[in-house]
């Protein structure tokens, strides 16, 4: 029986058969159905069959793949996002049409009407993780850190020994009231709203000298975070002297305008000679151990031994860190930029903004370490007249001047803008917090990166106990595991508690071969043992990897100086460990002498039949000989 071939709506191949028939099966003979099977009586006459019906049998795609391959090759491939040729007309009408020429200008005007200036506070309100407020526990720590840094800077600049109180009180679930109070010089009334209610407002950004804060973001960003999470304003008390009035402010930051919104301004009675107190209520989480407020204050006491801290915990307990140095910190002096640290764009801007009338005076007055002889040497190499006006220089002249500066030998920048902690003060701070058997501190000579002076200090404590606030479980690293080196990182006396693996300090410690100094160290890991290492970087501009100031960038000059400081501390530790090993060996030998010498005396008395007096004399002589051989 003939079969008919056709395609369905999906393009699949189908066959049509008459009723009572079946498709041919390969390897099987075609048989005629009997009358018994058809249900009709067997007779000699042929009967006329009933009206034939068609039955459609669809083959699966696998069985009809070979037969429909030619048909499938003719079909276009369906691309996601594009309409196929089989789409209905109604679906194709919903696609956007290209803009017409007479509509482009109107579209540009509509797009321009939506553009506006973005406030810096509005930007950081949406990107607060850049400032260190990316989780509740870190937000509480960051707020305390920014307030304490400002208090320490203010006291040191006013030549006052810092006496700082830090308090945390839980007001609700995941909500805390944080306050920091100092005995510094206070803040002038007109500057209080700007300092606490504006981002990027401060006195440290344009001055090249060592300071904890740099951008003028920290404390105002903490107040903004408190406003976003709790809706509460920042409260500030300030008094500038014993005879001055104390001012109380309540304000919040307007994120759209980056301006303070003053809620309350009044004069109050405050029993303080001078100082500042700031209160911020924010959403946070209090925890103990590593990366906590407890750990931050403990480490801050190490690098600030001249300060006294009183810490009130959420449970009401108090912890006091007394000052171990009764000496005011030397205030670093501001310096002019060094020519090697100025880029081409900054050099062009300085030439346009300068008030100097000649190039010779411009180079001598605007930069440090540039004498008249050095300025003339630079101008001769750049082929620029010394009497030419800086504002009249072309872009080619500025490029030649920039190249001439890089090729001229100029003295390194002055280091009076950087004040290190000092070996004696750093060791006293280390001994106050970390209990150990051996301490050593090394201060490297000042160095320069990109024209910015910096200085590296390193300290090491070995043996004994650990920090008083360190969690016991974290120190032991689990049951049966060996304790690893504890790393403390500092930049301008400020502890760095986050992003340890991304910091140049940690990289330098990992690249140091501590096995040379008697420590056991696995490949790619910190050395094992009861050891604490401190590295402090002091600089006019610390190259942090982000605005949250959590890790130091990987400059080769910085890594080199850190490795040299660590090597010096390591050599001192190696000498100490070798001495301890010799003492242990000597004690072991002495124990052998004390153990076996009486037995030798008894044996000699029995063999030589000596009297007790002779035996005692012989044992004394023998002990003297053995002691001399042991100490050699």
Domain that holds residue 281: 122-286
- Mean pLDDT per block of 10 residues along the chain (632 residues) reads 50 50 47 46 47 48 47 48 48 74 88 80 76 85 91 91 95 93 93 88 70 74 89 94 93 87 92 94 90 91 92 93 89 85 89 91 91 92 92 92 91 83 90 89 89 90 62 43 86 90 93 90 88 92 84 93 94 90 77 74 76 79 71 58
Asked if residue 131 belongs to a domain, the reply is yes
Residue 257: per-residue pLDDT? 84
Q: Are 148 and 257 in contact, with CB atoms under 8 Å apart?
A: no
Asked if residue 415 belongs to a domain, the reply is no
What CATH code is carried by the domain that includes residue 189? Answer: 3.30.565.10
Put simply, whether the predicted model's pTM sits higher than 0.75 gets the answer no
Residue 216: per-residue pLDDT? 61
Residues 382 and 457 in one domain: no
Domain edge (last residue) among 407, 438, 460: 407
Distance of CA 51 to the CA centre of its chain: 86
Q: Are 103 and 521 in contact, with CB atoms under 8 Å apart?
A: no
Residues 140 and 251 in one domain: yes
- Tell me if residue 459 falls in helix, strand or coil: strand
Q: What distances in angstroms separate CA 15 from CA 39, 67, 116, one per listed residue?
A: 27, 12, 68
The DSSP result for 543-587, as a single string, is -BSSTT--SB---HHHHHHHHHHHHHHHHHHHHHHHHHHHHHHHH
Q: What distances in angstroms separate CA 368 from CA 338, 387, 391, one per listed residue?
A: 5, 20, 20
- 299 φ, ψ to 5°? -75, -35
Residues 271 and 126 in one domain: yes
- Three-class SS string for 169-223? EEEECCEEEEEEEECCCCCCHHHHHHHHHCCCCCCCCCCECCCCCCCCCHHHHHH
Residues 588 and 553 in one domain: no
Q: Are 460 and 506 in contact, with CB atoms under 8 Å apart?
A: no
Q: Where are the alpha helices (H) located in 258-388, listed in sequence order?
A: 293-303, 344-353, 359-366, 372-382
- 133 φ, ψ to 5°? -110, 50
Residues 137 and 281 in one domain: yes
Annotate 470-505 with b (16+ C-beta within 10 A) or e (fewer).
bbeeebeeeeeeeebbbbbbbbbbbbbbbbbeebbb
Asked if residue 247 belongs to a domain, the reply is yes
Please state, in angstroms and rounded to a whole number, the distance separating the CA atoms of residues 442 and 459: 6
Asked if residue 231 belongs to a domain, the reply is yes
Residue 479: per-residue pLDDT? 40
Asked if residue 7 belongs to a domain, the reply is no
Burial class (CB in 10 A: 0-12, 13-18, 19+), 195: buried
Residues 395 and 439 in one domain: no
Nearest Cα neighbor of 549 from 162, 138, 175, 136 is: 138
Residue 275: per-residue pLDDT? 94
Residues 256 and 349 in one domain: no
Residues 241 and 255 in one domain: yes
Residues 199 and 282 in one domain: yes
Residue 318: per-residue pLDDT? 93
Asked if residue 160 belongs to a domain, the reply is yes
Q: Are 170 and 314 in contact, with CB atoms under 8 Å apart?
A: yes
Please state, in angstroms and rounded to a whole number, the distance separating the CA atoms of residues 320 and 178: 17
160's CB contacts (< 8 A; 6+ apart) are 183, 184, 185, 328
Domain edge (last residue) among 286, 311, 331: 286
For residue 372, how many other CB atoms are within 10 A of its CB? 12
Residue 335 DSSP one-character state: B
Residue 14 DSSP one-character state: E
Residue 52: per-residue pLDDT? 47
What CATH code is carried by the domain that includes residue 394? Answer: 1.10.8.50
Residues 427 and 570 in one domain: yes
Residue 8: per-residue pLDDT? 52
Asked if residue 484 belongs to a domain, the reply is yes
- Tell me if residue 349 falls in helix, strand or coil: helix
Residues 203 and 268 in one domain: yes
Residue 33: per-residue pLDDT? 47
389-395 contacts at long range (C-beta below 8 A, 24 or more positions apart): 389/357, 389/358, 389/359, 390/351, 390/352, 390/354, 390/356, 390/358, 390/359, 390/362, 391/351, 391/352, 391/354, 393/351, 393/359, 395/348
Q: What distances in angstroms separate CA 480 from CA 157, 398, 466, 472, 473, one per listed residue?
A: 49, 65, 18, 13, 12
Radius of gyration for the alpha carbons in the chain, expressed in angstroms and rounded: 41
**Strand 163-172 relative to strand 308-312, pairing:** parallel
Asked if residue 509 belongs to a domain, the reply is yes
Nearest Cα neighbor of 256 from 412, 82, 121, 395 is: 121
Nearest Cα neighbor of 577 from 627, 529, 613 is: 529
Q: Are 331 and 159 in contact, with CB atoms under 8 Å apart?
A: yes
What CATH code is carried by the domain that includes residue 498? Answer: 3.30.230.10
Domain edge (last residue) among 255, 286, 317: 286
List beta partners, residue 442: 458
Residue 468: per-residue pLDDT? 44
List beta partners, residue 208: 335
Please state, in angstroms and rounded to a whole number, the distance separating the CA atoms of residues 47 and 18: 17
In the structure encoding, which two tokens stand for residue 206, read together? 């344009």
Domain count within the chain: 4
Residue 368: per-residue pLDDT? 87
Please state, in angstroms and rounded to a whole number, the distance separating the CA atoms of residues 174 and 155: 32
Q: What is the dihedral of CA 565, 530, 469, 148, to 10 degrees?
A: 0
Residue 219 Ramachandran class (φ > 0 left, ψ -120 to 50 alpha, else beta) = alpha
Residues 511 and 592 in one domain: no
């Amino acid at each position: 029986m003939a079969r008919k071939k056709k395609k369905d709506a999906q393009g699949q191949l189908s066959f049509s058969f008459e009723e009572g028939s079946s498709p041919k099966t390969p390897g099987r003979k075609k048989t005629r159905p009997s009358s018994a099977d058809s249900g009709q009586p067997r007779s000699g006459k042929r009967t006329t069959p009933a009206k034939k019906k068609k039955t459609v049998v669809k083959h699966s795609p696998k069985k009809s793949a070979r037969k429909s391959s030619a048909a499938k090759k003719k079909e276009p491939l369906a691309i996601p996002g594009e309409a196929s040729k089989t789409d209905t007309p109604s679906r194709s009408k919903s696609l956007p049409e290209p803009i017409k020429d007479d509509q482009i200008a109107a579209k540009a005007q509509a797009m321009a009407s939506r553009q506006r200036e973005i406030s810096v506070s509005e930007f950081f309100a949406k990107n607060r993780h850049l400032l260190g407020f990316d989780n509740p526990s870190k937000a509480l720590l960051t707020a305390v850190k920014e307030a304490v840094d400002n208090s320490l800077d203010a006291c040191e600049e006013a030549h006052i020994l810092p006496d700082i109180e830090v308090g945390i009180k839980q007001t609700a679930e995941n909500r805390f009231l944080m306050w920091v109070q100092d005995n510094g010089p206070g803040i002038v009334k007109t500057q209080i709203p700007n300092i606490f209610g504006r981002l990027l407002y401060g006195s440290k950004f344009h001055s090249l000298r060592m300071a904890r804060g740099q951008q003028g973001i920290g404390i105002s960003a903490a107040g903004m975070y408190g406003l976003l999470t709790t809706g509460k304003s920042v409260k500030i008390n300030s008094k500038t002297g014993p005879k001055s009035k104390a001012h109380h402010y309540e304000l919040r930051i307007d994120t759209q305008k980056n301006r303070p919104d003053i809620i309350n301004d009044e004069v109050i009675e405050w029993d303080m000679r001078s100082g500042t107190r700031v209160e911020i209520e924010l959403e946070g989480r209090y925890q103990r151990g590593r990366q906590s407020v407890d750990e931050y204050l403990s480490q801050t006491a190490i690098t600030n031994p001249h300060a006294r801290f009183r810490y009130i915990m959420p449970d009401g307990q108090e912890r006091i860190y007394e000052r171990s140095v009764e000496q005011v910190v030397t205030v670093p002096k501001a310096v002019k930029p060094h020519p090697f640290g100025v880029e081409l764009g900054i050099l062009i801007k300085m030439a346009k903004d300068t008030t100097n009338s000649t190039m010779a005076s411009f180079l001598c007055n605007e930069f440090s370490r540039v004498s008249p002889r050095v300025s003339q040497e630079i101008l001769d190499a750049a082929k620029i007249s010394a009497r030419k006006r800086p504002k009249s220089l072309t872009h080619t002249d500025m490029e030649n001047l920039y190249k001439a500066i890089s090729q001229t030998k100029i003295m390194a920048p002055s280091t009076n803008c950087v004040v290190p902690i000092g070996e004696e003060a750093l060791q006293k701070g280390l001994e106050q917090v970390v209990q150990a058997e051996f301490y050593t501190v090394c201060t490297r000579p000042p160095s320069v990166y990109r024209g910015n002076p910096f200085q590296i200090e390193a300290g090491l404590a070995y043996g004994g106990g650990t920090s008083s606030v360190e969690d016991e479980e974290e120190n032991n690293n689990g049951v049966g595991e060996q304790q690893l080196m504890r790393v403390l990182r500092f930049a301008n006396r400020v502890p760095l508690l986050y992003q340890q693996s991304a910091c140049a300090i940690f990289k330098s410690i990992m690249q140091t071969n501590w096995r040379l100094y008697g420590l056991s160290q696995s490949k790619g890991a910190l050395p094992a043992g009861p050891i604490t290492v401190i590295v402090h970087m002091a600089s006019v501009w610390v190259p942090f990897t982000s605005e949250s100031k959590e890790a130091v960038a990987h400059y080769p000059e910085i890594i080199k100086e850190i490795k040299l400081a660590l090597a010096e501390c390591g050599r001192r530790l190696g000498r100490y460990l070798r001495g301890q090993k010799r003492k242990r060996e000597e004690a072991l030998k002495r124990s052998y002498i004390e153990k076996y010498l009486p037995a030798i005396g008894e044996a000699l008395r029995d063999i030589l039949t000596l009297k007790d007096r002779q035996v005692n004399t012989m044992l004394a002589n023998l002990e003297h000989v053995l002691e001399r051989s042991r100490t050699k």
